[in-house]
Amino acid sequence: MGIPITSASYFATMTLDQVKHVFRSDTEVPIPLIEDRHRVLNESGTVLLEKFGGSFLTCVKKSQRSAQKLLRLILENFPSYRDEAVFEKKKVSFYKRAQILVADTWSVLEGKGDGSFDDISSLTIFADYRIPQVLVHLKAMNYSEELMRKLREGTIFQSGDKEEVEIRGCSIWCCALICKYLLELYEKKGQDMSGNINAVLLDYYLWDYARDHREEMKDTPFHRVRCIYY
């Protein structure tokens, strides 16, 4: 998990042309948001060098084996991870990329050593475009006719739009209810599955399901947003 200082230095000094080369397309369609990707790479590399000795493992160790502490460290130090919006005059926070970074750290380290986060279940699913799609496909969530019409027409939403926030928020709540229901089912059977059922593992499962059942899901539209938070 450690990023060598040379790598962090490289990220911090990469030029736009270098980033364009790394992310070059094998079709005529270029990768979107290339300027933003360049900015985020430089920003992350600079933060790693200036605050964590060039290694993300330093950040992990500072979390003291807490998923929530690591999440806060990421949000406090890496601006591009602050995935927030305002909904009906209230601040809402999704932190998709920040949470998946914490979860993948836990997963790669197999929940051991510096990655033994006892509070891993405090994370939510990682709300982007694919999880809502599979939840609708499985009829765990329903969209209004108006929203479905917009999705089928290929409407491009902006990050923070009412519909986008609702889709992501409902996905998180839906998966929280699924986890709660599964835990209750096992509890009735006299089995404690609190260490085996959480939003992280549910997200991994749903993402794999969406990948493996892509053809079956092609008639279920997903919402389209171009931003750095997904």
Q: Catalytic residue positions?
A: 128
Separation between Cα atoms, residue 52 and residue 74, nearest integer Å: 11
Separation between Cα atoms, residue 81 and residue 74, nearest integer Å: 7
E strands in 32-173: 84-87, 90-93, 156-157
Instruction: Give bridge partners of residue 84 from the DSSP assignment.
Output: 93
The single-letter code of the amino acid at 71 is L
CA–CA distances in Å: residue 69 to residues 14, 59, 66, 162? 30, 10, 5, 30
Report residue 214 as tokens.
């892509």
Maximum distance among all Cα pairs of the chain, rounded to whole angstroms: 59
Report residue 157 as tokens.
């939403």
**Which of 84, 102, 151, 133 lies closest to 1 in space, CA to CA?**
102
The single-letter code of the amino acid at 10 is Y
